[in-house]
Amino acid sequence: MENHADVLLSIQQIYKEFSGVRVLNDINIDISTGEVFGILGENGAGKSTLLKIICGVYTPTGGTITLKGKVVSITTPMIAKRLGISMIPQEFNLIPTLTVFENIFLGSEIRNGLFLNKREMREKTRLLLNDLKTELSPEALISNLSVAEKQMVEIAKALVHESDILIMDEPTTVLTTVEVKILFDLIERLKEKNVTILFISHKLNEVKKICDRILVLRDGDQICVNDVEDVDEQDMAKKMVGRELSQVFPIKSYPESQEVLRVDNLSDAKLLDDISFSLNKGELLGFSGLIGAGRTEMAECIMGLRQRNSGDIYVNGEKARIDSSSDALKYKLAYLSEDRKGKGLLMNFGMPENISLISLAKYSNLFINKKREKQSSENYSKQFNIKAASLKAELDYFSGGNQQKVYLAKWMDTDPFILILDEPTRGIDVNAKKEIYHFINSLVTQGVSCILISSELEEIIGLCTRVLVMRDGKITGEMEGDRINEEEIMFSAAGVRQTNQQEKDLHA
């Protein structure tokens, strides 16, 4: 692998400090033309920081970067683009009030003399989206898109520049198996065109599948660089965490027979069609389905965040009136949205303010009790192993996974009685995932009832005692106990049985 004639990008003794705190330490790697290079590490290990240095978002405190044999100084993303480096960022950078094609060409508009050539930009966008096999319209407004669709737009936006180096910071966290497969096919095609890809993911099976080599970072240190053939998922996890990882999934706890939530014939104007189900005390009920199946819409309808056309909701046997999130809170219902940044967190405030935002009553009589706020932040940061320079720092400065942990803590703090978790472990590292699984399990053991919406089949199968599957706004399958398995879930979700080969392709 180490053939120096092939070296495209060489990182020598790179380190990075933020306000004197070192977050990246002495990184030395050589990356070859056309390889897919994976970067692994726990939340806050320094992965995004390293890639942001390569694409000009951050300037390194020290060290050199050599591209095609020449030392380069990549001080802005514009310079990176000119050098042939583009990035799909971890956090979306799209402008909600503009359309898909306007976002894709933002800053590199095609012009006809003085005028924008909208026709060509639209057409190019359509071709890119075709390549990504999505049915998104170039004219769609970003604010109307789901997180998965936004992710597809970010990918298209990076592809438009036809770069030599394409940086992907967790591109798959919000995608389901089908879209991941599309993305991976695309990566294979790019590789054939000699495009080099730097790829961050917490999904170790994906890393194993798509990468040629991996770098493991721990607390900003370079732990190792390996050919992917030489390591399995277990080894990767061990190198990331620095020790053996014990049982990831807790022993399942079975619910009581008392019904706490019932949804009867729920429909909305667009997608949801006659959804009925019930949830028992201490139950962990999974919801599976492909993107667009309507799981998030269903949760939003139950929580009063989206208009219902028909349907009744019963909490503890009594008909509930839930037309807003404050109504939901009165019934002790909590909903952790899949869109933490768009619908959840205040990015320019610290952790204490974010935690107390919803459960404000708990922290104030006349004034907000800052000491209590701080205390609970510290407790949660211990519980979920939240890592940041300071808990009071703006959330913008937290790593992606650590932001997600703050978001989880914020909802836990409302002491919910019924909790809907929509993709709760998005961007969370293997070790922290385990902590969160055990935490959710301890909640249900204490009698809290949970609905888990997740695109990670492993998570649904490993945690839930019952699973409902949705397709096109309807419930199409139900499984319980030993009958919960991948094949049946995929069948109900997609409506067709995968042939053995397709099945293998999809999950290999």
Ligand X SMILES: Nc1ncnc2c1ncn2[C@@H]1O[C@H](COP(=O)(O)OP(=O)(O)OP(=O)(O)O)[C@@H](O)[C@H]1O
Rg (the chain; Cα; Å): 23
Q: Which stretch binds ligand X (CB under 6 A): 137-145, 256-264, 335-343, 383-391?
A: 383-391
Q: With binding defined as CB under 6 A, does residue 56 bind ligand X?
A: no
Handedness of CA 283, 175, 411, 342 (dihedral sign): negative
Provide the minimum distance between the beta carbon of 165 and Mg ion in the complex, in angstroms, as a whole number: 18
Q: Indicate the residue among 401 and 416 with the shorter CB distance to ligand X.
A: 401
Q: With binding defined as CB under 6 A, does residue 15 bind ligand X?
A: no
CA distances from 78 to 49, 74, 84, 94, 299 (A): 18, 9, 10, 17, 40
Q: Indicate the residue among 231 and 430 with the shorter CB distance to ligand X.
A: 430
Q: With binding defined as CB under 6 A, does residue 18 bind ligand X?
A: yes
Closest CB to ligand X: residue number: 401
Residues of span 205-234 touching ligand X by CB under 6 A: none
Q: With binding defined as CB under 6 A, does residue 424 bind ligand X?
A: no
Binder among 38, 41, 138, 477 for ligand X (CB under 6 A): 41
Cα(1)–Cα(215) distance, rounded to whole angstroms? 14
Q: Indicate the residue among 41 and 477 with the shorter CB distance to ligand X.
A: 41
Q: With binding defined as CB under 5 A, does residue 400 bind Mg ion?
A: yes
**225: nearest Cα among 237, 238, 239:** 239
Q: Which stretch binds Mg ion (CB under 5 A): 83-91, 246-254, 351-359, 389-397?
A: 83-91
Q: With binding defined as CB under 5 A, does residue 48 bind Mg ion?
A: yes
Cα(190)–Cα(193) distance, rounded to whole angstroms? 5
Q: Indicate the residue among 18 and 349 with the shorter CB distance to ligand X.
A: 18
Cα(154)–Cα(198) distance, rounded to whole angstroms? 16
Binder among 11, 23, 228, 391 for ligand X (CB under 6 A): 23
Cα(246)–Cα(434) distance, rounded to whole angstroms? 9
Q: Indicate the residue among 133 and 218 with the shorter CB distance to ligand X.
A: 218
Give the rounded distance of the alpha carbon of 455 from its chain centre.
10
Q: Which helix (H) or strand (E) holds 41?
A: none
Q: Nearest 5 degrees, angle CA 432-CA 53-CA 76? A: 135
Q: Nearest 5 degrees, angle CA 483-CA 487-CA 488? A: 50
Q: Indicate the residue among 18 and 491 with the shorter CB distance to ligand X.
A: 18
Cα(216)–Cα(450) distance, rounded to whole angstroms? 34
Count of residues that bind ligand X according to CB under 6 A: 21
Q: With binding defined as CB under 5 A, does residue 220 bind Mg ion?
A: no
**322: nearest Cα among 463, 391, 314:** 314
Closest CB to Mg ion: residue number: 48
Answer yes or no: are the C-beta atoms of 54 and 65 closer than 8 Å.
yes
CA distances from 155 to 104, 131, 158, 225, 500 (A): 9, 11, 5, 26, 30
Q: Indicate the residue among 44 and 255 with the shorter CB distance to ligand X.
A: 44
Q: With binding defined as CB under 6 A, does residue 388 bind ligand X?
A: yes
Q: With binding defined as CB under 5 A, does residue 465 bind Mg ion?
A: no
- The footprint of Mg ion (CB under 5 A) covers 48, 90, 399-400
- The footprint of ligand X (CB under 6 A) covers 18, 23, 41, 43-49, 90, 387-389, 397-402, 429
